[in-house]
Amino acid sequence: MSDEKVAGPRHVAIIMDGNGRWAKARHRPRLFGHREGAESLRVILEACRKHGVEILTVYAFSTENWGRPKDEVDGLMRLLKEFLKKDEKELHKHETRLRVTGRLGDLPADVQAELRRVMAATEKYTKGQLVLALSYGGRAELADAARRIAEDVAAGRLAPEAVDEQAIAERLYLPDVPDPDLMIRTSGEVRLSNFLLWEVSYSEFIFTPVPWPEFREEAFVACLEEYSRRSRRYGGHE
């Protein structure tokens, strides 16, 4: 495949990193950083609408995050519910669909109920998508896909010789969502941290030193501009 010149990404995925370190540097509790990070999410979601990004996927809570102190986990769950209640109106206003990727059943029952309610209320919208990765891990997603394949083979619904890349892709959490064009990680860390391991195989990566609580429209637009200067390659042509 030849190089693909693109004006801008359709799907952006973000590892929202640096909330805790940002708060610590200001001698504030970690939840203060997470609250400021929620404001950044609001700003970037609006920037996506403004700059033509149709799908925004954010790494909101990983499978590993359950190992954090209970008060921090509980606080993050409260912030999630607050975000949903405060921002549902904006989702409706802009006809943006809310979706979740990850093991939704791991979340507290009240959080699950609120997520399912908003997802159901926005499921017919087509102007944009906000995908929250919650209790998400890339390895867990692949393990769950492998389990579904094993079940389908055992039940006779899938022949072993038919197990290929498409069979795996069809059993991921959100198989209808296109792979990210651009993956951004904030706060200077340069690793994937188990995020969308299958889906970012050919994504463009940008690692920015800006911590997530300070990552606002100007920093986001800089990433979009960097993306627009690149030529995407898929291995068939260099």
Helix (H, G, I), strand (E, B) or coil at 110: helix
Cα–Cα distance list, 52 to 45, 55, 94, 129 (Å): 11, 9, 13, 12
Residue 215, phi then psi, degrees to nearest 5:
-85, 100
Q: What's the CA gap between 93 and 50, in Å, rounded?
A: 14
65 a catalytic residue: yes
Annotated catalytic residue, options 19, 65, 152, 181: 65
17 a catalytic residue: yes
Q: What's the CA gap between 173 and 153, in Å, rounded?
A: 19
Which residue in 130, 161, 144 sits closest to 198, CA to CA? 144
Number of helices (H), then strands (E), belonging to the chain: the values are 7, 8
Token pair recorded at residue 145: 């896909």
Which residue in 101, 89, 98, 87 sits closest to 127, CA to CA? 98
Annotated catalytic residue, options 3, 17, 74, 194: 17
Angle between helix 30-50 and helix 217-228 axes, rounded to 10 deg: 50
| Residue where the block lists tokens 């607050």 | 82
Q: What residues are labeled active site?
A: 17, 65
